[in-house]
């Protein structure tokens, strides 16, 4: 194949890749915005749950049963249920490897024996790094691919957590996931899901009610308290999934930006090489014409 034709073909392929990368950048940016909006929408709902807890915790009935209702302090070496959030899709750099390294390091700091550790993996691509680190996941969940799938995934995780508590006596639950810092960066994060932070509950109990009148409730306080805590757990898991998905797309956006830069540099080199080869071909053609003309003159 002539050099110019080969270069034209390589330029066309690079331009097609550039178009694909730009499309993926747009999709990643749109996904980030969507998941960030979902997290923001949780803020007001979380505030409502906290207000409900504030009323329950401040009631005389609750204070009478405060010792029984308050979260108990678990031993440091008590069993741990770890939920590690990765990705199902690729093109996101070291996203999964980073969260696994972070989670393994945090778990090691707790000095928990492997027999006391239960792990759930969310996202197929987080499993190989876990296996490489010697961590066995007892069950693997697929990461939701859209906002519509987050709620059902939260419900599945809550059911598994309930099984951990009832059948395996695991009352310490930790979430490991990435939180976005910007549209192209993120950082690993740990959240202790259970037991619920006792200081947080105490702060809510002592918090002054801002309204003119203090609301009351007629429902059994223990049932209401349990229902509010369940909603709090739902919010935590939903936020973890949404922020992990936003971080995944931030990593993908950064990868696409790096790829776009590489393609632009490659295209610049190909265009320069094409122009050079084209100029060389034109020069050679001109020399052939001149040589032919000179030969024709000498023949005359």
Residues 127 and 194 in one domain: yes
Residues 219 and 265 in one domain: no
The Cα–Cα gap between 235 and 157 comes to: 12
Compute the average pLDDT of residues 38-62: 86
How many distinct structural domains can be found in the chain?
Answer: 2
Higher local confidence (pLDDT), 80 or 217: 80
User: Average pLDDT over the chain, rounded to whole?
Assistant: 87
Compute the average pLDDT of residues 124-133: 96
Interval 139-171: pLDDT, tens:
999 999 889 999 999 999 999 999 999 999 999
Residues 223 and 286 in one domain: no
Residues 204 and 90 in one domain: yes
> Residue 176: which CATH number?
3.40.1380.10
φ/ψ of residue 187, rounded to 5:
-145, 150
Residues 74 and 151 in one domain: yes
Residues 149 and 284 in one domain: no
Cis before 195? omega within 30: yes
Residue 5: predicted pLDDT: 82
Residues 170 and 278 in one domain: no
Interval 72-125: pLDDT, tens:
555 666 899 999 999 998 888 899 999 999 999 999 988 888 889 999 999 999
Which is it for strands 172-182 and 185-194: parallel, antiparallel or unpaired? Answer: antiparallel
Compute the average pLDDT of residues 20-49: 91
Structural domain including 7 reads: 2-24+260-298
pLDDT bucket at 209, cuts 50 / 70 / 90:
confident
Interval 260-272: pLDDT, tens:
888 888 888 888 8
| Per-residue pLDDT at 293 exceeds 70 | no
Residues 104 and 165 in one domain: yes
Q: 290: which 2 tokens?
A: 């001149």
| Per-residue pLDDT at 68 exceeds 50 | no
φ/ψ of residue 62, rounded to 5:
-65, -45
pLDDT bucket at 11, cuts 50 / 70 / 90:
confident
> Residue 265: which CATH number?
1.10.287
Residues 80 and 110 in one domain: yes
**What's the burial of 134, exposed, middle or buried (CB within 10 Å: 0-12/13-18/19+)?**
exposed
User: Which of 97, 90, 7, 25 is closest to 259 using CA atoms?
Assistant: 25
Place of tokens 């598994």: 160
The pTM assigned to this predicted structure is 0.84
């Amino acid at each position: 194949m002539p050099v110019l034709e080969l270069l034209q073909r390589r330029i066309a392929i690079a331009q097609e890749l550039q178009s694909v990368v730009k499309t993926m950048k747009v999709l990643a940016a749109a996904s980030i915005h969507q998941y960030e909006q979902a997290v923001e929408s949780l803020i007001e709902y979380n505030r409502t749950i906290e207000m409900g807890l504030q009323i329950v915790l401040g009631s005389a009935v609750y204070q009478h049963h405060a010792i029984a209702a308050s979260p108990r302090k678990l031993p440091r070496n008590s069993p741990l249920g770890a939920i590690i959030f990765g990705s199902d899709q690729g093109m996101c750099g070291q996203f999964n490897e980073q969260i696994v390294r972070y989670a393994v390091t945090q778990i090691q700091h707790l000095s928990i024996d492997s027999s006391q550790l239960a792990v759930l993996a969310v996202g197929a691509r987080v499993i190989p790094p876990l296996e490489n680190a010697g961590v066995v996941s007892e069950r693997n969940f697929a990461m939701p691919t859209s906002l519509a799938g987050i709620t059902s995934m939260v419900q599945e995780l809550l059911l598994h957590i309930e099984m951990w508590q009832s059948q395996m006596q695991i009352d310490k639950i930790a979430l490991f996931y990435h939180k976005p810092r910007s549209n192209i960066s993120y950082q690993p994060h740990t959240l202790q899901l259970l037991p619920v932070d006792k200081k947080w509950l105490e702060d809510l109990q002592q918090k002054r009610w801002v309204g003119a009148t203090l609301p009351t409730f007629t429902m059994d306080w223990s049932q209401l308290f349990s229902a509010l805590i369940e909603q709090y757990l739902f919010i935590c898991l939903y936020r973890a999934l949404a922020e992990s998905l936003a971080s995944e797309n931030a990593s993908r956006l950064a990868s696409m930006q790096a790829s776009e830069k590489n393609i632009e540099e490659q295209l610049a080199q190909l265009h320069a090489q094409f122009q050079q080869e084209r100029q060389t071909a034109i020069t050679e053609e001109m020399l052939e014409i001149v040589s032919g003309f000179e030969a024709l003159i000498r023949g005359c």
